[in-house]
Amino acid sequence: MKSFAELQAIRDRLKTEVNQRESGEGDTRIVVGMATCGIAAGARPVMTAFNREIEVRKLSGVKTVQTGCIGMCRLEPIVDVITPDGKKVTYVKVTPEKVSRIVNEHIVNGNVVDEFLMKE
């Protein structure tokens, strides 16, 4: 950091990230499993990709939240998308490359991305 302007830019970026994580009523929540298993499987870059996608698209009413162990370690990173009406969809083995499609198809257009869901 070489200037006050750089410090302000960092503060503004972090403030945006914090605001994206504070969920309220009526928000679509993106819940990323961030227990040890999730982090080891790549959940942190997935969370970062969701935050970046929300910021770039200027989506309001969409918040990212982290949670602990979801209990299916072999399927990590796991992401739940919970819409304001309470419906939950669980995506498994999510990568940063899949995030854009989940946001575009599910969050923006309301269509679940079936191929990223858990298969029995």
> Cα–Cα distances in Å, from 60 out to 6, 64, 78?
26, 12, 23
Q: Which CATH class is domain 4-116?
A: alpha beta
CA angle 115, 29, 89 (to 5 degrees): 30
Asked if residue 33 lies in contact with residue 77, where contact means CB atoms within 8 angstroms, the answer is yes
pLDDT of res. 25 = 58
Place of tokens 């309001």: 60
What the block records as the tokens of 23 is 């969920």
The CA–CA distances, whole Å, from 1 to 6, 26, 118 equal: 6, 38, 44
pLDDT value at residue 57: 94
The per-residue pLDDT for range 12-28, each reduced to its tens digit, is: 776 655 554 454 557 89
pLDDT at residue 120 in the model? 61
Distance CA 7, CA 81 (A): 33
Output the pLDDT for position 20. Answer: 46
What pTM was estimated for this model as a whole? 0.78
Domain chopping of the chain, boundaries? 4-116
- The DSSP line for 15-83 is HHHHHHH---TT-EEEEEE-SHHHHHHTHHHHHHHHHHHHHHHT-SSEEEEEES--S-GGG-S-EEEE-
